[in-house]
Structure 1
Amino acid sequence: MQKIVIVSDTHIPVRAKKLPQRLVEECQSADFIIHAGDWQTLDVYYELSAYTETDGVTGNVDPWGIADRFGKKKIFAFGDLKIGVIHGDGSRKTTEQRAYEAFAEDEVDIIVFGHSHIPVKRKMDGITLFNPGSPTDKRKQPQYSFGLLEIGDSWELKHVFFDKES
């Protein structure tokens, strides 16, 4: 069984000074971490990669160093499972529509995106669209969130919701 943590919109140090403990707990036992952009600093990458292999894409508020390192769009393969990752920012259409259209020419099973900070998990034309939300900036959402993907003979993708630490 492979365990993949999916996170986006950490916005550190602007929205939080550090990664929340609930996220760190899952990262400690993860096999891979996917970040869908708006890291805001490479320190987030360095911290996450101390737990396990970490990769992702750049978001609209990320500096050039992050953009140069990660790029705007990626596809990860875990066995037969293909995951497209994009931040989802842009103009016109919804974040979800932009993310979906970005992979129109690609064969993917899951599209991971961020930007809106709104947790999403739904199917569109047989593809699972997934926004993990944000672990540090929930905006108008009731809780903070990130995603967990477990891959074995089949795969299960879910949100992890939590309240701010005291």
Structure 2
Amino acid sequence: MRLLLMSDTHVPTRARHLPAPLLAAVAEADVVFHAGDWVDTGTLDLLQDRSKRLIAVYGNNDGPALRERLPEVARVELQSCRFAVVHETGPARGREQRCATRFPDTDVLVFGHSHIPWDTTAPGGLRLLNPGSPTDRRRQPYATYLTAVLADGRLGDVCLHRLPPR
């Protein structure tokens, strides 16, 4: 199963639209995760139309229209692998332990907010993944998103994709 992870798209405030390479990857993915900060409902509509399956949450920059349609935390089990999606996890320091405590029955936590790619494993095995942002790199050298493969209930081939400058 091919997975695509993104967050912090901020359309149209930080970009007019999602990058073409990201949209091409959406079409190839079996499941798309979005960890919030959409800003507009048009991007949600676009991803719902183009994704085979979309698992998404709202972020701190998302207003009432998005909060009516999306949860703060989403949970899904795929091939016996338990995923949770949330926008914000707090400061980097202590993140693994804090998230392991907050999400004890989770194998993979997808999060956003910082626009900084993150891939660590907490004591006890919780995998924490932040795909960065495909539209607003902030202090990062590249705009990014993640892909991964889920096979036999195990997450593998996690790959950070750098997008070309706009």
Name the TM-score, length of structure 1 as normaliser: 0.88
Residue equivalent to 1:164: 165
Q: How many angstroms apart in 2 are the aligned matches of 1:96 and 1:5?
A: 26
Residue equivalent to 2:21: 22
Using the TM superposition, give the Cα deviation of residue 103 of structure 1 relative to its aligned residue in structure 2, in angstroms. Answer: 5.7
Q: Is the 8 A contact 1:30 1:51 kept in 2?
A: no
1:55-74 equivalences under 5 Å are 55-74=55-74
Q: How many angstroms apart in 1 are the aligned matches of 2:58 and 2:39?
A: 9
Name the TM-score, length of structure 2 as normaliser: 0.88
Judging changes above 3 Å, is the alpha-carbon distance between structure 1 residues 118 and 100 closer, same or farther for their aligned structure 2 residues?
same
RMSD between superposed Cα atoms in Å: 2.1
Q: How many angstroms apart in 2 are the aligned matches of 1:163 and 1:95?
A: 30
C-alpha deviations, 1:146-165, integer Å up to 9, x for none? 11121123321221122224
Q: How many angstroms apart in 1 are the aligned matches of 2:73 and 2:97?
A: 10
Using the TM superposition, give the Cα deviation of residue 21 of structure 1 relative to its aligned residue in structure 2, in angstroms. Answer: 1.1
Q: Is the 8 A contact 1:95 1:115 kept in 2?
A: no
Secondary structure in structure 2 of the residue aligned to 1:28: helix
Residue equivalent to 2:127: 128
Query: What is the aligned length?
Result: 162
Q: How many angstroms apart in 2 are the aligned matches of 1:69 and 1:103?
A: 27
Bigger mean CA deviation after superposition, 74-83 or 149-158:
149-158
Residue equivalent to 1:83: 83
Q: Is the 8 A contact 2:76 2:83 kept in 1?
A: yes
Secondary structure in structure 2 of the residue aligned to 1:134: coil
Runs of at least 5 residues in structure 2 that lack an aligned partner in the other structure: none
C-alpha deviations, 1:108-144, integer Å up to 9, x for none? 1111110000000011111111100000000010111
Bigger mean CA deviation after superposition, 62-71 or 156-165:
156-165
State whether structure 2 residue 142 is matched by structure 1 residue 152: no
Using the TM superposition, give the Cα deviation of residue 84 of structure 1 relative to its aligned residue in structure 2, in angstroms. Answer: 1.1
Judging changes above 3 Å, is the alpha-carbon distance between structure 1 residues 5 and 105 closer, same or farther for their aligned structure 2 residues?
closer
Judging changes above 3 Å, is the alpha-carbon distance between structure 1 residues 100 and 75 closer, same or farther for their aligned structure 2 residues?
farther
Identical positions, percent: 30
Residue equivalent to 1:110: 108
Secondary structure in structure 1 of the residue aligned to 2:28: coil
Using the TM superposition, give the Cα deviation of residue 105 of structure 1 relative to its aligned residue in structure 2, in angstroms. Answer: 4.9
Structure 1 residue ranges (4+ consecutive) displaced by more than 6 angstroms after TM superposition: none
Q: How many angstroms apart in 2 are the aligned matches of 1:106 and 1:89?
A: 14
